Amino acid sequence: MVMSQLKMMINEFRTFMAVVLLTLATSVFGQASGFNFTLEFGHHLVEQDPPESFGNASALGLAYQQDLSTRFGLGLDVFWGFETKETKSVEAIYSAKYFFSDNSYTAPYIGSFIGVQKLKTSFTEYVPSTSGAYATSRNVEAKRLQVPIGLRAGLRGGLDGYFGELFVQAGYAIGNGNYYRAEGKQVKSSPLFFGLGFSFLGFGWDH
């Protein structure tokens, strides 16, 4: 059990470092860079019973953005999200963007993304006693690693100076499935990856 958790942590660290190194490598050839904070509202992290079309999952993120030219850009977003006090998530999303006009100014874009999403749920489960005594309780912790992939579109200001961004992203979470059991029911992680985001307090510079 300990060895499997250690291997998972090593694989997650390798994935994170690969994304960071790729982002740093692209900065050598970029024309502008910037950092910003993000608020995101999205779909449920786990499937609901009965199903609901939209959830109350929220996330706070920190992003690094890099423009390679006046039409192409890259971004690395790290989100810390939650749906309830029991269910939380950590996401690292790498996106590529094509701008329809000069991105030195406010411009719309469309692109794709791929990332890593780690779900974690902790709760107390009460188990009825078969002898008629009081029910016993136990702490349950479930984790799941998924790979979201999909499309992203938005509107972003030029990176030089202060900037903001509005975006929507939607895709599929590879690796979704059985997550944990609660009250005798199997709970599954959501296959849908969807979010509406607003980036603020962005500050960047030309190279």
Residue 19: name the closest of 93, 111, 89, 96 by CA: 93
Residue 105, domain extent:
2-206
pLDDT of residue 5: 54
| Predicted pLDDT at 130 | 65
pLDDT attached to residue 93: 96
Residue 143's nearest CA partner among 173, 120, 174 is 120
pTM of this structure: 0.79
The total of structural domains in the chain comes to 1
The CATH number of whichever domain residue 33 belongs to comes to: 2.40.160.20
Neighbours of 135 (CB within 10 A): 9
> 58: which strand partners?
41, 82
**182 or 197, which is more confident?**
197
List pLDDT tens digits, range 91-141: 999 999 999 999 999 999 999 999 999 999 887 777 666 665 656 667 778
Q: How far is CA 4 from CA 9, 44, 193, in A?
A: 9, 28, 27
pLDDT, tens digit, 9 for 90 and up, residues 4-18? 555 656 666 666 666
